[in-house]
Each structure stands twice: as C-alpha cells, then as structure tokens.
Amino acid sequence: MFRSLGTILLAAAVLVAPAAAQKFKLSTLSVPIYVTVTDIEKRLVPDLVLDDFEVLDNGRPQPITTFDNKPTPITAIVMLDTSGSMTAALDLVKQGAEQFLLRLLPDDQAQVGAFNDKIEFHPETEFTSDRDRLVSLLKELDFGYPTRLYDAVDESIARLEAMPERKVVLVFTDGDDTSSKLGVGKVNDRAREKDVMIYAIGLVNEYFNGQQRVRSQPDRGLKRLAEDTGGGYFELKRTADLNETFTRVAQELHSQYVLGFSPETLDGKVHKLEVRVKKSGMNARARKSYVAASATPSGL
C-alpha cells in the first residue's frame, strides 16, 4: 500500500497477497499515479502492460519504476448532497450509493456522509469494511438547506489524510455550492497535496422550491476537481442512471493501473503530469499534477 508523505510517496515492490487486492511495500522515493484506461467506446481496458504507457513530468518522459494492474485497497468517503432540492430524489441517490458500497472489496474501507447547511460522517470516528453497516448508515443522513459542497469535500480530504490506502472521495450533488467557506481552487490544492482522488456525480435536477419548478445544474467546478485529481466526472440527466453510474465508479477504482516514477528534482513546486497510452484508440485518465516536495523517511 502507499503511505502518503505530502504527495511524494515511498513506493516499491509488490508483495503478493492471498486476497484479490495487492498491497505495496514502500521503500524508495516515488510518485504514484493511478490510471483509468478506456477504449473509444468508453469500455475499461484491463490488459495493458508497462511498455504501453508513457509518463511525462513537466513534459519530460520518465522511466516507470512501479507498475501493476491488480486491484489495490481503497479508503473512500461517499459524500451525498442532502440539501432541500434533493428531497424528491434522495432515496434514489441512496440506492445508487448502495450499489457502490456493495462492490467494495474486503480490504477496502469507507465512510458515508452528507452535506447541506451542515456536514456529517458515519461512522463518526472510524472507517469500516462492513458493507452492510455502511448501507444501513445511509438511512441516517439528514436533510438541510444551503449547500456546503466544497467544505464537505475538504473535510472529507482531512479525514482521509492519515489513511495509508488509496484515498478517494465520491461526491454527489445536483446544484451549485451556496455557502462554503472554501472555493474549488483551495480544495483542489489540498487534494493534490494529500494525494486524494475525487470522483463526482452531478445530476441535472428539477424540483419545486415552494413557489415554482426550478431546474438545477451541478456546480461547474466539480468537473475540474475530478479531472485534475484523476477521478471521473459523470453528469446525469435522469435519476434512472444513478445505479449504473455509482456501479461504474466502483468498477473503475478496482480496474486502475498503478504507475510510479522517481522524480528527477525535488524542488517543492507543482509539476505537470501526463500519462499516455501508446496504443491507438485508448484514453488514459490520471491526476494532472503533483508537488515535488522532499519526504522524510518514516522508518518503514
């Protein structure tokens, strides 16, 4: 597994585990990159090899020192918008989130949460691998009114910071951020620094606000946040697509390639990352930057 020290992680050889998930022993300075590859029809591509990939750091090709295409454990927070506009659709959203939770692997861990004028997490003080418990906790999520979207993502990143596994926030919303203290830029910076991947599902929603029918649009910053961190962004026009989309996120997270390289310089600056697949018709999605900060060995 990867242990985060800033965004430069110590990474090395794969230890073969008896379970389906692979764990990584950390030993040398390396930058981890989790890559989703799809073909022209957006199908996941699971059978590429190391030589099919190219990694560029600030435009310079880098030797790939770590490669694997087997599932690695994740620690995830599923954060749902429960503001007033979601009143009619929330049961369907929870059903979609349930599809994601039921597809967690035995070594995965998660919490569920909600945001409106307040932000809540369940379980409150721990992560759990108990999928049935997580599904039952969805029922405890409360309604509210203003939408603290980016504050909720930021607090989720803070909870994930100390976790040793891959860190993921899966956030769902149907509207704009209306009352956060933080903007998307600050949250994006923190996600980069703490090596957290953001997946976002946005719903174009119609609801009655007490006076008239209103059509909402997902916050435009969500797509940028997901793309910059290597996650995926899905914008839906029908609640009927929720189950399929939450399922797709689980499939992607368990089908990603793990690449790593040792940076040439540790200058403390933000470096641009690019991952390319040499085979034609393939699209690689990965985080777009990292901070080339030095790391202090942790005694591993």
Tell me: pLDDT of 141 over 70. Answer: yes
Q: Are residues 270 and 262 in contact, defined by beta-carbon separation less than 8 angstroms?
A: no
pLDDT tens by residue, 279-297: 999 999 999 999 998 754 3
122: which 2 tokens?
């369940």
**How far is residue 185 from each of residues 129, 155, 225, 258, measured CA to CA in Å?**
32, 15, 8, 26
Tell me: pLDDT of 6 over 60. Answer: no
Provide the β-strand partners of residue 285: 36
Q: What's the per-residue H, E or C state across the chain? A: CCEEECCEEEECCEECCCCCCCEECCCEEEEEEEEEEECCCCCECCCCCHHHEEEEECCEEECCCEEECCCCCEEEEEEEECCHHHCCCHHHHHHHHHHHHHCCCCCCEEEEEEECCCEEEECCCCCECCHHHHHHHHHHCCCCCCCCHHHHHHHHHHHHCCCCCEEEEEEEECCCCCCCCCCHHHHHHHHHHHCEEEEEEEECEEEECCCCEEEECCCCHHHHHHHHHCCCEEEECCHHHHHHHHHHHHHHHCCCEEEEECCCCCCCCEEEEEEEECCCCCEEECCCEEECCCCCCCCC
Do strands 289-291 and 14-15 pair parallel, antiparallel, or not at all (unpaired)? unpaired
Q: Are residues 38 and 234 in contact, defined by beta-carbon separation less than 8 angstroms?
A: no
Residue 248, φ and ψ in degrees, nearest 5? -60, -40
Q: Are residues 94 and 80 in contact, defined by beta-carbon separation less than 8 angstroms?
A: yes
Do strands 205-208 and 196-203 pair parallel, antiparallel, or not at all (unpaired)? unpaired
Tell me: pLDDT of 14 over 50. Answer: no
**pTM score of the predicted model:** 0.87
Question: According to the model, what pLDDT value does residue 210 have?
Answer: 63
Lowest mean pLDDT of 117-121, 156-160, 205-209, 280-284, name the range: 205-209
Mean pLDDT value of segment 249-256: 97
pLDDT tens by residue, 203-219: 987 766 567 677 778 88
**How far is residue 294 from each of residues 1, 262, 267, 287, measured CA to CA in Å?**
20, 12, 8, 19
Task: Report all structural domains of the chain as residue ranges with CATH numbers, in order of start.
Answer: 3-71+255-291 (2.60.40), 74-253 (3.40.50.410)
Tell me: pLDDT of 114 over 80. Answer: yes
Question: According to the model, what pLDDT value does residue 258 have?
Answer: 96
Tell me: pLDDT of 32 over 60. Answer: yes
Mean pLDDT value of segment 191-202: 96
Question: According to the model, what pLDDT value does residue 72 have?
Answer: 93
Question: According to the model, what pLDDT value does residue 3 have?
Answer: 38
Q: Please enumerate in sequence order all residues whose Cβ is within 8 A of that of 39, keeping only pairs 6 or more positions apart, or say none.
A: 45, 281, 282, 283
Q: Among the ranges 2-11, 16-25, 87-96, 118-127, which has the highest mean pLDDT value?
A: 118-127
pLDDT tens by residue, 57-72: 999 999 999 999 999 9
